[in-house]
Structure 1
């Protein structure tokens, strides 16, 4: 059992005295994911990946725990859709920083891993992890589940990765989270993406970022691309990749100081 919230303080203390220990912190969002996917999909995916990785680490002799997920994220772009709950950058930074600092002081020497399921959080979380590493002298990793397996996303998906699309719908199928059948009339993604400047291919690093106000508008049904092409098999392949690579990263950090 990896869930910290189901442990007693005695259980956690037994982990804290171990030489190799990891705390995983899932982060996501509560935001619209089209008419067919749940609002909490991002944090549910992050939590699932963290829990599966934790179980694999535990079986290999490393003591690990998953902290309660940070469910709210930076989702202002979807604010016009009912059910989307967004927080400010300042709030997310301060709240997660407090959790990281508390975990570090409560269980010194623990390797911390932030597992993010919402791409809109990426930039802030990278800055946060760098800041606390310098301030506290700890080892902390940040991973986005999407970037972690961008090459596999490219391999399994017949359409560019966007939102509530073929990829996210496949993951929802694999996790038994599909609310209703995927729409067959989803539009192309509303943001213009140039393959040279900022490709939707996750294996290519952006050369530039362009920001526009997006919070006051709605963009059709909120699902894009071809979600009807999703499958459980694609989702399971992605989950296997996310789990195995996260475990690989943590072992390499713990054993080789990568």
Structure 2
């Protein structure tokens, strides 16, 4: 299909595509969150949205829903926390209920398989709860549905990591605003990245616990948890191809 975005379809075309339950709908779920001085606030939305569209183009069974742009609260040890202007988050219950309601509507339209494609680590538990609730709700009505929940970074294999980080990978936990996300954004939205503003830092080191209220001094002043220096569009393309290929294989 040339057009895989449901919001760009007229309602009759959309109705005819989903009423039999044969089409899966991918919902990208992200966040508006600072990613350092060198990058826009929306990589967590744009990256899963891009991957979703590419997967839909490669398969005949997938449509793409509008992204859910606001995610669960940024946490200090994975996203830098809520100390930075621009980071705009919702509560876990708000995210769970919102995702649940959107999926519920798609099932009522006729869809029977939904894919939640996550781009923001902190969302995971709450969108999982929404998926579980939805499955139990419709299962109790005798309607068989299935919800897949994916985080795109889980599809980046060790060989790709070794290629991107030949000197060693410090781990996903501190990749917020680092080489992986920045490289992907350089590939898909280069105008939203300014490498002249990239700040080189050593990977953040955190204690083995969290504390509330969160402690701002734990977070580098740049907001990133590792250095984006060394990011390239070529690296981003390698990462994306790995993710799109592996996710497409699930839904062929």
TM-score if structure 2 supplies the norm length?
0.84
In structure 2, do the counterparts of structure 1 residues 111 and 43 end up closer, same or farther at CA, with 3 Å as the change threshold?
same
CA distance in 1, matches of 2:127, 2:231: 29
1:114-153 matched pairs, under 5 angstroms? 114-137=116-139, 138-151=145-158
Residue 182 of structure 2: which of 169, 172, 176 is its match? 169
Alignment pair present for 1:183 and 2:183: no
Structure 2 Cα separation of the partners of residues 183 and 16 of structure 1: 44
Superposed CA RMSD: 2.0
TM-fit CA distance, 1:211 = 3.3
Q: Can you list the C-alpha shifts for 1:208-248, whole angstroms capped at 9, x where unaligned? A: xx433364625310123231121211110111111111111
Matches within 5 A, 1:235-250: 235-250=236-251
Q: What secondary structure does 1:228 align onto?
A: coil
Question: 1:137-196: CA deviations, max 9, x gaps?
Answer: 311100001112253553233232321001111111111334211524224224346xxx
Q: 2:13 aligns with which of 11, 14, 20?
A: 11
Moved more, 150-159 or 232-241: 150-159
- Point out where structure 2 has 5 or more consecutive residues left out of the alignment: 76-80, 140-144
Residue 154 (str. 1) matches residue 152 (str. 2): no
CA distance in 1, matches of 2:74, 2:181: 19
Structure 1 unpaired stretches of 5+? 194-209, 252-258
- Superposed, 1:1-258 pairs within 5 Å as 1-18=3-20, 20-58=22-60, 62=61, 64-77=62-75, 78-108=81-111, 110-137=112-139, 138-151=145-158, 154-158=161-165, 159-160=169-170, 161=172, 162-177=175-190, 178-181=192-195, 183-192=198-207, 210-213=209-212, 215=214, 217=216, 219-251=220-252
Q: How far does the alpha carbon of each residue in 1:96-148 deviate from its partner, in whole angstroms, 9 at most, with x for none? A: 1000111101124x311000011111122223222322221311100001112
Q: Which residue of 2 aligns with 1:207?
A: none
**Partners of 1:71 and 1:155 in 2: CA distance:** 31
Deviation at 1:68, TM superposition (A): 0.8
